[in-house]
Amino acid sequence: MKAVILVGGQGTRLRPLTINTPKAMVPVLNRPFLEHVIDNLSRHKAREITLAISHLAQPIKDYFGDGSRFGVKLNYALEKAPLGTAGAVKNSERHLDEIFLALNGDIFTDLDITAMMDLHRRRNAKITIALTPVDNPTIYGLIETNAQGRVMRFLEKPSWSQVTTNMINAGTYILEPDVMAYIPFQTNFSFEHELFPLLLERGVPIYAYPSSAYWLDIGTPEKYFRLNKDLLSGRGGQYGLSSGQEVVVGEKSHIHPTAQITGPVVIDNNCTIGERVRLTGPVVIGHGSVILDDSVITESIIWQAVNIGKRVKIKDSIITNDCHLGDGSIVEEAVLGDHVTVASGYKLKAGSKIWPGTTVG
């Protein structure tokens, strides 16, 4: 089975996390988000995957290479200008000469792709669309089906008066290769607004695959934060930690005996945790980070090479790469971009989003 993953977006809603880091590379439990997606595809026997890339493409190529390290073959299709969801797949067409999967690159799910493929073949569908239930369908695309699961109508971002179902487009599709003929070349063209309605109008058989699998769109810092918490707490389906209470420590990390760690906590390699430090999960500490004496970190995500001074308090926050928090500083409900410095003794205003390279206090 082949697949194409759309990872060319700029991740504007995720800023400041994505100013220097592609959305596909933001760390989830200290592994790039995209690595988790590729893992799930590999579990379902996808062996050749094309990454539709554009914005900040080089870090993705540098990390994943030809895919052999992850048990797959990786191809790359570069967009020189935004092509939309369907247009990006069309740009990858030379790699997609058989039935294939197309996935939005900002969706985390443990969807049973094998079962979805079985349904696609049984229905003789040209396209099968994964559906997932949500509490508020008005911010997504609704899909109405008949009793046999055939798609009858698409409704993008409906008002509450238009809502007839809570099942939304989950951003994973199975397509027959001849569907590509309906997508114009080098044109900004979307699945949701253009291709699917066009095919429905022409009577092309489109079916839905409803699923209650874990599903989350990580488009905002809040949802990215929620994903890490879910996986740490054992709520991420087959991914993440199992009991929600584990403490996982990487190689060559030093934790002082007086430190108090309450799981779930994941500490990557080469970290230093000082005297009387308290970590209360869910917490993730990235590679090479240092937390000095008497600091307290509660329910937070710390990326790589972060230096946290003495007596620092961090709560409900995301601290990205190479930040420096001075002694006695306080950071609560904040998001810090790369290379941010917080002065000693400074209390950051709750809800702050600090852009990379900024010094505060």
Whether 156 has a pLDDT exceeding 80, the answer reads no
Q: What is the predicted pLDDT for the residue at 128?
A: 96
Q: What does the pLDDT look like over 211-262, one tens digit per residue?
A: 988 888 888 999 999 999 988 887 766 666 666 688 999 999 999 999 999 9
Whether 55 has a pLDDT exceeding 80, the answer reads no
Q: What does the pLDDT look like over 63-114, one tens digit per residue?
A: 999 999 998 999 999 888 888 889 999 999 889 889 999 998 888 888 889 9
Q: What is the predicted pLDDT for the residue at 242?
A: 64
Domains of the chain, with CATH numbers?
2-222 (3.90.550.10), 241-360 (2.160.10.10)
Q: Is the peptide bond before 133 cis (omega within 30 degrees of 0)?
A: no
Whether 281 has a pLDDT exceeding 90, the answer reads no
Binned at pLDDT 50, 70 and 90, residue 138 comes out as confident
Angle at 170 between CA 151 and CA 114, to 5 degrees: 85
Q: What does the pLDDT look like over 166-205, one tens digit per residue?
A: 888 888 999 999 999 999 988 899 888 889 989 998 999 9
Averaged pLDDT for residues 50-73: 90
What's the rounded Cα separation, in Å, for the pair 198 and 201?
5
pTM, two decimals, is: 0.86
Task: Please state, rounded to an integer, the average pLDDT across all residues of the chain.
Answer: 90
Q: What is the predicted pLDDT for the residue at 246?
A: 86
230 versus 331: which is more confidently predicted? 331
Between the alpha carbon of residue 326 and those of residues 53, 279, 323, 343, the distances in Å are: 38, 18, 10, 5
Whether 14 has a pLDDT exceeding 90, the answer reads no
Whether 295 has a pLDDT exceeding 90, the answer reads yes
Q: What is the predicted pLDDT for the residue at 2?
A: 92
Question: Could you give the residue numbers annotated as active site?
Answer: 157
Those residues whose C-beta lies under 8 Å from the C-beta of residue 236, and which sit 6 or more positions away, are 108, 110, 214, 227, 230
Averaged pLDDT for residues 48-63: 90
CA atoms within 13 A on the CB side of 223: 15
Binned at pLDDT 50, 70 and 90, residue 126 comes out as very high
Residues counted in the chain:
361
Q: What is the predicted pLDDT for the residue at 60?
A: 92
Q: What is the predicted pLDDT for the residue at 293?
A: 97
Helix boundaries (H) for the chain: 33-43, 57-64, 84-90, 113-122, 196-201, 221-232
Share of the chain above pLDDT 90, in %: 60
CA atoms within 13 A on the CB side of 167: 18
Whether 274 has a pLDDT exceeding 90, the answer reads yes
Q: What is the predicted pLDDT for the residue at 310?
A: 97
Averaged pLDDT for residues 115-138: 90
Residue owning tokens 């505060």: 360
One-letter amino acid of 281: G
